[in-house]
């Protein structure tokens, strides 16, 4: 394990002497952020340990001002080692009482989890059973919990679920067309990216937007992508359903697919279940259509490449189609918000998605859209269109703080 001597300045600290660590564990990376215990929590540091299991790993972070604090080459064998490195760094450079808790993003909470909760052995066991529903995320999310527990068994851990925000969707929105017996086995529509949608709603409320009165669609567009229809500030429909495969095409995931294709691949192409799972989750979407990259910016940089252009066009076509469908559930639209890495940073994608939707009252202002302004709608339309970053880590820190305040021995300033 590399030395952490390079982390000596500036120090990790929070005003109250306590800090919340937020972790998002992926297959080959651990993204993290450190927040104060204040209300609302203030971001102190954020960064990642990338390329876990490879020789050319990287441990990097920026401070609250966005200044690079450190960027070092590391060689990390697994998530246990990555979390130990991270916790040692936090310990060495956090004054006062150090970490008070760790919050984890957990993609799938199942039907029972409608809010953030402290991690228990019983909860972990149930979440492991949900791993087949989110194979790209769930096992690694749980690996982060196990690694923290191994290094700090007494440190409280909080699970925050991407599915929780959609827990109150109307009954019809949760159904599939399968026989009822399968719903009893947990096969239903859940919805994802809930922490992002929850952050957007909270931000709008803080800016005095009458969220309860507006019909809103949020487009969370990134390597994972989905849309959510909001009425009364609550999710009433979303494009992702049973798994993280459904809805929009994504970086490496296919999005909605005729189930007959799966049957064909099984019966006629003689592909195994494991091979099909890898195909749908890791070889499809932008990567599969373009043949070279899952990154939207890479594709936009090669407009002369027919496959790349077609991948972008397909993404925008599907997004436009899903957006229009969600307006039917809402009986109209008052506000459209783009967020996520693509939603915030790809003006051309926003323009293509909004094209030909004037009949819904959607009209972009080309100059403001190209400049990356917060409000990008034109006076020619009646729908307010915005683009701004989401902050799932901030949302997790808020949930952790709220739960800590319920502990008898905890004094939260």
Cite the active site residues: 162
Give the strand pairing for 30-36 and 43-50.
antiparallel
Return the bridge partners of 117, or none. 159
Beta-strand (E) ranges in 114-269?
A: 117-118, 157-161, 215-221, 225-231, 234-238
Cα gap 334→267, rounded to integer Å: 46
Cα gap 141→191, rounded to integer Å: 17
377 neighbors 385 (Cβ within 8 angstroms) = yes
Cα gap 238→169, rounded to integer Å: 9
Tokens of 331: 């009986």
How distant is the alpha carbon of residue 345 from its chain centre? Answer: 16
Whether residue 40 is preceded by a cis peptide bond, meaning omega within 30 degrees of 0, is yes
Q: Let me know how long the chain is.
A: 413
Residue 194: CB atoms within 10 A of its CB come to: 27
**C-alpha dihedral, 394 to 397 to 399 to 401, nearest 10°:** -140
Tokens of 196: 């992002």
Cα gap 189→176, rounded to integer Å: 7
Sole residue written with tokens 């998002």: 24
Phi-psi region for residue 306, left (φ > 0), alpha (ψ -120 to 50) or beta? Answer: alpha
Cα gap 198→395, rounded to integer Å: 8
User: Which residues lie below 8 Å from residue 331, measured CB to CB, with a gap of 6+?
Assistant: 215
73 neighbors 14 (Cβ within 8 angstroms) = no
Q: Exposed e or buried b for every residue in 338-364, given b needs 16+ CB within 10 A?
A: bbbbbbbbbbebbebbbeebeebbbbb
387 neighbors 371 (Cβ within 8 angstroms) = no
Cα gap 388→374, rounded to integer Å: 6
């Amino acid at each position: 394990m590399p030395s952490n001597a390079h982390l000596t300045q500036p120090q990790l600290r929070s005003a109250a002497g306590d800090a919340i660590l937020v972790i998002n564990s992926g297959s080959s990376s651990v993204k993290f952020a450190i927040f104060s215990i204040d209300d609302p929590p203030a971001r102190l540091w954020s960064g990642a340990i990338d390329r876990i299991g490879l020789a050319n790993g990287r441990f990097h972070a920026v401070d609250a001002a966005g200044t690079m604090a450190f960027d070092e080459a590391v060689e990390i064998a697994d998530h246990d080692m990555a979390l130990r490195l991270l916790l040692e760094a936090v310990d060495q450079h956090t004054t006062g009482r150090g970490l008070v808790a760790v919050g984890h993003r957990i993609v799938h909470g199942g039907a029972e989890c409608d809010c953030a909760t402290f991690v228990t052995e019983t909860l972990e066991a149930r979440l492991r059973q949900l791993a087949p529903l989110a194979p790209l995320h769930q096992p690694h999310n749980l690996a982060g919990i196990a690694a923290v527990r191994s290094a700090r068994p007494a440190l409280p851990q909080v699970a925050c679920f991407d599915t929780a925000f959609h827990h109150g969707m109307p009954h019809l929105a949760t159904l599939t067309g399968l026989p009822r017996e399968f719903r009893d086995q947990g096969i239903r529509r859940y919805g994802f990216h809930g922490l992002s949608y929850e952050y957007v709603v909270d931000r709008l409320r803080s800016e005095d937007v009458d969220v309860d009165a507006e019909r809103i669609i949020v487009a969370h567009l990134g390597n994972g992508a989905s849309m959510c229809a909001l009425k009364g500030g609550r999710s009433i429909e979303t494009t992702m359903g049973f798994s993280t495969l459904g809805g929009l095409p994504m970086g490496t995931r296919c999005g909605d697919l005729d189930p007959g294709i799966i049957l064909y691949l099984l019966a006629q192409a003689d592909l195994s279940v494991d091979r099909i799972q890898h195909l749908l989750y890791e070889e499809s979407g932008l990567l599969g259509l373009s043949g070279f990259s899952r990154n939207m910016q890479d594709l936009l940089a090669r407009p002369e490449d027919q496959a790349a252009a077609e991948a972008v066009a397909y993404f925008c076509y599907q997004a436009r189609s899903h957006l229009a469908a969600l307006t039917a559930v809402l009986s109209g639209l008052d506000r459209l918000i783009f967020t996520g890495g693509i939603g915030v940073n790809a003006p051309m994608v926003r323009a293509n998605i909004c094209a030909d939707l004037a009949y819904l009252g959607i009209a972009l202002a080309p100059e403001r859209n190209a400049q990356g302004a917060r409000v990008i709608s034109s006076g020619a339309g009646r729908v307010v269109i915005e683009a701004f970053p989401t902050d799932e880590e901030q949302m997790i820190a808020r949930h952790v703080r709220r739960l800590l305040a319920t502990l008898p021995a905890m004094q939260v300033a």
